[in-house]
Amino acid sequence: MNVQQEIRAAAADSTGHFDVVIAGAGISGVGAAYHLTKQCTGTSFVVLETQKSFGGTWLTHRYPGIRSDSDLHTFGYRFKPWTSAPIATAAEILSYMGEVIEENALGPHIRYQHKISSARWSSEENLWTIEAIRTDTGEAVRFTANFFWMCQGYYRHSEGYTPEWKAMETFKGRIVHPQQWPDDLDYKNKKVVVIGSGATAATLIPAIARDSAHVTMLQRSPTYFRTGRNAIEIAETLRALQVDETWIHEITRRKILFDQDAFTRKTFEEPEAAKKDLLSAVEAYLGPDYDIATHFTPKYRPWRQRIAFIPDGDLFQGIKAGKASVVTDEIERFTETGILLKSGKELEADIIITATGFNLSANGDIDFSIDGEPLDFSQTVTYRGMMFTGVPNLVWVFGYFRASWTLRVDLVADFVCRLLNHMKDIDARKVTPALRPEDHNMPLLPWIDPENFNPGYMMRGMHLLPKRGDKPEWQHNQDYWAEKDEFPAIDLGDHAFVYE
C-alpha cells in the first residue's frame, strides 16, 4: 500500500482502545509513532491528526519559498539519513516524512481529519477518554488510552497572529497572513509590503522579490540572521569519498552540533564578539555603505530569539539588487493605498503581508479535565518541559529553539518508551509527576526566562504555559547539549514520579 491508500484505509475505523494515543502527525507525532514501534514493540497506538495529511508545520505553511531555517541533518530524525542540501523546502521535508511513514508501515496507525476536542482522565479507570471530531463528516468519535502523547506543536494551525492596526479596513488592496496563503494571490509586478522580519519574512521576501514590482520589509526592530552556503562541507567531502549515507548523517550531525554548541556558548560568554560575527556576514553582502546599524543590528543579545539561516544570503542579494528594501519604523495606521508610518513616511502597497507570527496554543485547543475537574496547565509545574505535576500518563513534546526541534523529539521518545517499558515491568498503570519534599519551597517561575529567550508569541502566551522551578528536573532548559546526557540518565525511581 502506498501512503495515500494507507490514509484511506486508516480513516475507515475510528473508535477503540489503544495503549497510547498520539496527538498530531507533524515531525513530532510521526517520530513518536516510529519510536513506539521500535522501542515498545506490541504497544497499540493511534495518531489523531486534524489535517488531511501528515507534516504539521510543513503542510500548513504554503507561502512561496517556504523552507527550513535550520539544517535537515539535525531537523531530520537521527534514524533516517538526510541526503540533500541542508536547508530544505517544505516539499522536501514532506517527502522525507512520507518515506519514514511508508518504510515503517506507520500509515495504518494514523487517522487523518480527526480533531481532538477533549481529553478526560479518570483515576477510577486509569484511562484517558479522548474525543475527536471528524472534520470530513462532522461525526464525534471516542477513543480510550492508557497514555496520551501530545505532539500537537505549540501554535494554532487554523489562524496566524495579526495585530490590530488602526484603519486596516480602509486599505483597498489585499492583506494576507503567510499561514493562510491564498492560492490566487497574484503579486506579479505589484508593490508588496511585508510586515515583520522573522524567519517567515526572510524566506518569503527573496521568493517573491523576483516577480513583484518591489518588496519592502517593514520592521519595528531588527533581527539577527546567519548566512552561508546551503551545503555542509564535511557531508560533501564524505559523499565524494563514497561513504555510506548512514555514516554521513551521523558524522555531519555531530559536526553541526559541535559547531552550534561553540556558537551558542559564544553568544552567552562573548555576546559582542558573536554579534560582530553575525553583522560582518551581513555587511559582506550589503557593503560598507548600507545602514546595518539601523536595519540589521538588534538591541538584544544574539540567540534571545531564533536566528534564521539565510542560504546564500538570498535576502541580502535581493536588497543589494534593489528588488527589496528594509524600513525600520512603526505603523501609525493603514491608509487606502498603504501604510502611514510614525515617522510620517508613507509606504505604498498593493498587497500587505503580515508576517507577524503565531498564536500560541499550548494544548492543541483540547479541553482537558482530570477526574471531572477542568485542567489548567498554567497551574502545573513542568517536569523537564515534557510532563506536568498532577497530570497522569501524559507527555508533551516541545522542542528546541536554539537547536533543531527534532533533536528533542528523539530524546523525549527515548524517555517515553523507557517509561512505558518500566511501568510494564513494575505493573504500574499510572505515573504522575509530583514535587518532592525538597521541591516544596522552590520558587515557581514562568515557563521560559525572558532574559534567556523572548519571541513575541511566547511572551504573549506565557501566562497560559506551565510553570518552571529552579532545578533541572523542573525546567525546559532549551539546552540540547545538557539534555542529551541528562535524559538517558533520568532515574525512573525518583520520587518526582508517583506510580500507582
Ligand X SMILES: Cc1cc2nc3c(=O)[nH]c(=O)nc-3n(C[C@H](O)[C@H](O)[C@H](O)COP(=O)(O)OP(=O)(O)OC[C@H]3O[C@@H](n4cnc5c(N)ncnc54)[C@H](O)[C@@H]3O)c2cc1C
Contact positions toward ligand X, by CB under 6 A?
23-29, 48-51, 56-57, 61, 68-70, 75, 115-116, 151-153, 157, 199-200, 364-366, 397, 399, 404-405
Residue closer to ligand X by CB (options 238, 407) is: 407
Pairing relationship of beta strands 387-388 and 382-383 according to DSSP bridges: antiparallel
What is the C-alpha to C-alpha distance for residues 249 and 10, in angstroms, rounded to an integer?
32
Residue closer to ligand X by CB (options 49, 439) is: 49
Q: Which helix (H) or strand (E) holds 115?
A: strand 114-122
What is the C-alpha to C-alpha distance for residues 495 and 317, in angstroms, rounded to an integer?
56
Give exposure, 330-347, as e/b (b: 16+ Cβ within 10 Å): ebbebbebbbbbeeeeeb
Minimum CB separation from ligand X for residue 47, in Å? 9
| Residues whose CB falls within 8 Å of the CB of residue 392, separated by 6 or more in sequence, listed in order | 121, 123, 126, 370, 430, 431, 432
What is the C-alpha to C-alpha distance for residues 56 and 364, in angstroms, rounded to an integer?
12
Pairing relationship of beta strands 110-111 and 45-48 according to DSSP bridges: parallel
Residue closer to ligand X by CB (options 313, 364) is: 364
Residue closer to ligand X by CB (options 150, 331) is: 150
Minimum CB separation from ligand X for residue 72, in Å? 8
Minimum CB separation from ligand X for residue 28, in Å? 3
Residue closer to ligand X by CB (options 347, 353) is: 353
| Angle between the N-to-C axes of helices 245-269 and 271-286, in degrees from 0 to 180, rounded to the nearest 10 | 110
Residue with cell 519592502: 216
Q: What is the CA radius of gyration of the chain?
A: 23
Residue closer to ligand X by CB (options 173, 252) is: 252
Minimum CB separation from ligand X for residue 355, in Å? 10
CA neighbours within 13 Å on the CB side: how many for 79?
18
Minimum CB separation from ligand X for residue 364, in Å? 3
Minimum CB separation from ligand X for residue 71, in Å? 8
3-class SS letters over 327-375? EECCEEEEECCEEEECCCCEEECCEEEECCCCCECCCCCCEEEECCEEC
Minimum CB separation from ligand X for residue 114, in Å? 6
Task: Pull the grid cell for residue 23.
Answer: 496527538
Residue closer to ligand X by CB (options 115, 190) is: 115
Taking every pair of Cα atoms in the chain, the longest distance, rounded to a whole number of angstroms, is 70
Phi/psi of residue 273, each to 5°? Answer: -70, -40
Residue closer to ligand X by CB (options 205, 496) is: 205
What is the C-alpha to C-alpha distance for residues 190 and 214, in angstroms, rounded to an integer?
7
Minimum CB separation from ligand X for residue 413, in Å? 12
